Amino acid sequence: MTPAVVPAMTDVSLLLLALASGIALGTVFFGGLWWTVARGMTARYAPLWFFVSLLLRTGVAMAGFYLVARGSWQRLLVCLVGFVIARLIVTRLTAEAAPQPQTASSTSHAP
């Protein structure tokens, strides 16, 4: 007989699936944010571009959290942890891909 403290294998697999889902949702949300900023800065209707992106990204994330949780606060919490992990990963990857600003010593000025 197994102790009641140890979760069943199906519970662990559901939590791992919730973690993976949170990482996927976070990647879509924050990757979409990076893509929106990169494209939206040169868009003709930039405010509309940013607003629609915000609605789509938030809607996808909220629907994903709702579907993953299915009434379980544990799955919701693990999904949120995955979402934050994805934020850290996307932030690090996009910071490496972003152009670095010039320092004051590398700029040239007229005499």
pLDDT per residue over 81-94, tens digit each?
999 999 999 999 88
Q: Which residue has the tokens 């590398």?
A: 106
Mean pLDDT, range 1-23, rounded to an integer: 78
Mean pLDDT, range 60-85, rounded to an integer: 94
Q: Cα–Cα distances in Å, from 70 out to 33, 58, 74?
A: 26, 18, 10
pLDDT at 94: 85
Confidence of residue 111 (pLDDT cuts 50, 70, 90): low
pLDDT at 76: 94
**Tens digits of per-residue pLDDT, 28-53?**
999 999 999 988 888 889 889 999 99
Mean pLDDT, range 69-75, rounded to an integer: 91
Residue 71 Rama label (left phi>0; alpha psi -120 to 50; beta)? left
